[in-house]
Each structure stands twice: as structure tokens, then as C-alpha cells.
């Protein structure tokens, strides 16, 4: 929710297809790691690739759709 809010302030929208949340939850679940692993997985699999995509597009307003495929996230 916080990421979507930050993007909206910059005129960008983010939509997550079915399966994205499940993939993120599945790959970040390890009781011994706790929330640290969740944060790291979100950064590595979603936030960093999203930032790179937005930089490449060089657009102020942009729509990004995220889907899950073959155990990874695909951003378009």
C-alpha cells in the first residue's frame, strides 16, 4: 500500500495480477528470518526492478503491471 501511494504521488499506477502476492509470500516465508526476509524479498523482486523500469521509461506518468510467471515477477 505504501509503495502504491508513493507511486501515485508521482503520477504512476501499479497493478498486481493474481499470483503476485502469493509468490511474494511464498518466497519470503521463513520463520527464523521474520520480517527482514519479507523486506529483502520485496526490495529484490519488486521495488528494485520497478525503479529500474521507471528510470528506463523516463516518463513522469506511467502504468506498471506486475504478474507472476515461472516463479518470478514480470513487470510491464
Mind listing the pLDDT tens digit for each residue in 55-70?
Answer: 998 877 889 999 999 9
Query: What is the count of structural domains for the chain?
Result: 1
Q: pLDDT tens, position by position, for the chain (76 residues)?
A: 789 999 999 899 999 999 999 999 999 989 898 889 999 999 999 999 999 999 998 877 889 999 999 999 999 9
pTM: 0.85
Q: Which three cell numbers stand for residue 56?
A: 528506463
For strands 62-69 and 12-16, give the pairing.
parallel
Instruction: Give the C-alpha separation, 37 to 11, whole Å.
Output: 29
Residue 6 belongs to domain spanning:
2-75
pLDDT at 5: 92
Is the distance from CB of 74 to CB of 67 less than 8 angstroms? yes
| CATH for 39 | 1.10.8.60
Amino acid at each position: 500500500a505504501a509503495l502504491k501511494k508513493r507511486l501515485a504521488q508521482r503520477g504512476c499506477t501499479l497493478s498486481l495480477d493474481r499470483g503476485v502476492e502469493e509468490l511474494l509470500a511464498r518466497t519470503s516465508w521463513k520463520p527464523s528470518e521474520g520480517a527482514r526476509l519479507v523486506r529483502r524479498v520485496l526490495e529484490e523482486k519488486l521495488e528494485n526492478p520497478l525503479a529500474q523500469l521507471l528510470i528506463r521509461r523516463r516518463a513522469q506518468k506511467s502504468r506498471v503491471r506486475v504478474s507472476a510467471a515461472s516463479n518470478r515477477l514480470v513487470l510491464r
